Amino acid sequence: DTEVTQTPKHLVMGMTNKKSLKCEQHMGHRAMYWYKQKAKKPPELMFVYSYEKLSINESVPSRFSPECPNSSLLNLHLHALQPEDSALYLCASSQDPAGGSTDTQYFGPGTRLTVL
């Protein structure tokens, strides 16, 4: 089973709201990722967690705050977002962070975020 689940599927929020995106996997993977995908563009990496520790932050604004409470869960906390942050947010996981670029990433279905 290579399933990554994400909730909610859709989220609409105002610029003053605080919300969270949730990602879950039960494959025993030890690396988890957040990507942002704008319309008609490829996914762009935001964060990587390896063994529940933040290992890569691609210079993401602080209004996005990731959290990895345990090896199966990954959250993305959102606060004071801008309309240009509207996008599909994808979560992915992979088995072995030490595997480097050979470690295959499996993606969830995404959360469609709209910021009003």
Partner 1 sequence: AQSVTQPDIHITVSEGASLELRCNYSYGATPYLFWYVQSPGQGLQLLLKYFSGDTLVQGIKGFEAEFKRSQSSFNLRKPSVHWSDAAEYFCAVGANYGNKLVFGAGTILRVKS
For residue 37 the two structure tokens come to 């995908």
- DSSP 8-class letter at 52: T
Output 18 or 51, the one with its CB closest to partner 1: 51
Token representation of residue 68 = 């990895």
How many Å apart are CA 36 and CA 82, to the nearest integer? 14
Pick from 18, 56, 57, 114 the residue near partner 1 by CB under 8 A.
56
Q: What tokens does 101 get?
A: 């670029």
How many residues of this chain interact with partner 1, rule: CB under 8 A?
Answer: 32
Tell me the three state secondary structure of residue 88.
strand
- Work out whether 43 is an interface residue with partner 1 (CB under 8 A): yes
Q: Site for partner 1 (CB under 8 A): which residue of 45, 60, 73, 80?
A: 45
Tell which phi-psi region holds residue 71, choosing left (phi > 0), alpha (psi between -120 and 50) or beta. Answer: alpha
Q: How far is the CB of 80 from partner 1 (least distance, A)?
A: 26
Minimum CB separation of residue 109 from partner 1 in Å reads 4
Q: Which of 21, 25, 33, 115 binds partner 1 (CB under 8 A)?
A: 33
